[in-house]
Chains A and B, each alone.
Chain A
Amino acid sequence: MIPTHYYLLLGTGLFVIGVIGVMTRRNILIILMSIELILNAVNINLVALSGHFRAVDGQVFAIFVITDAAAEAAVGLGLIIALFRNKETLNADEIDLLKW
């Protein structure tokens, strides 16, 4: 039996990799993928604690997180397509129309 906190440590590692990706990359597509990594880390934690307490609620929450991920991917990719059509760039630091 693997201790529960091993799963939580794995979730932490994946979360931090996602955070580094969001903060350092310039390509907005890869920033969106890093957000997916973060959501997966959250899912690992939810499922691990669900297994730990022998309750199924954590898995239900993980399903809602996946639903959110699907909605976020659809809207985010739509935004990226609209942005690319107008600005011809994928770099997050060049999209600064609102920055003064």
Chain B
Amino acid sequence: MMLPEITFFILSATALIGGILVITRRNAVHSVIWLIVTLFAVGGIFLMQRAEFLFAVQIILYVGGIMVLFLFVVMLINLDLSVKQAQFNRQWLLAVFTALVLMGGLVYVLYKGGDSFALATAPLAAASQGNTQRVGTALYQDYMLAVEIASLLLLVAMVGAVIMAKRKFE
């Protein structure tokens, strides 16, 4: 076992255990906290794949932005009642079974076909540019239209959120 493997397994275990705790906690605030732990672990996975810019985006935007928004709403409409109620719906057994069948299929395919990834590895490109520079170039040259569409999406989402959360529809 080398250091990268140990790091990878620790990060994966943190992400998976955090994910399981997210969907099993009774209190929604605890779920948010465990989701933050999972997001940090996923950010570490990004770092292991040398996606430094995405790691920064994950921490600043996801943990610092989206999760704070979640915490706001959870604390705004926190119900003591919902902690005492049943947490899972009636068809949970069937749902878990179906999801595990799905996971079985996916894991089987990845396990059988995992060796094919060993063949296709591209040669290591000369790292003349940093990761952030390459991502920025790709974003603003190859994916220019997509960036514009994403900005429009964010505008629509912002207007939609304001209208939804308004006190009354006039």
In the complex, A81 has a CB within 8 A of chain B = yes
Q: Judge whether B161 and A20 touch: CB under 8 Å.
A: no
B123 / chain A contacts, CB cutoff of 8 Å: 54
> Interface residues of B toward A: which range?
35 or more
Are the CB atoms of B49 and A7 closer together than 8 Å?
yes
Q: In the complex the two chains form, is A16's CB within 8 Å of B143's CB?
A: no
Residues of B with C-beta under 8 A to A95: none
Instruction: Name B57-102 residues within 8 Å CB distance of A.
Output: 57-58, 61-62, 65-66, 69-70, 73-74, 76-77, 79, 82, 85-89, 91-92, 95-96, 98-100, 102
- Cα-based distance from A67 to B23 in the complex (angstroms): 23
With A4-B117, A20-B96, A54-B122 as contacts: A26 and B86 at CB distance below 8 Å: yes
Number of interface residues of A (CB under 8 A): 72
Interface of B is mostly: helix
Most chain B CB within 10 A, of A9, A24, A54, is at A24
**Is B150 in the interface zone, CB < 8 Å from A?**
yes
Complex: chain A residue closest to B122, CB-CB = A54
By a CB distance below 8 angstroms, the chain A residues around B4 are 1-2
A residues near B103, Cβ cutoff 8 Å:
12-13, 16
Nearest residue in B to A2 (C-beta to C-beta)? B8
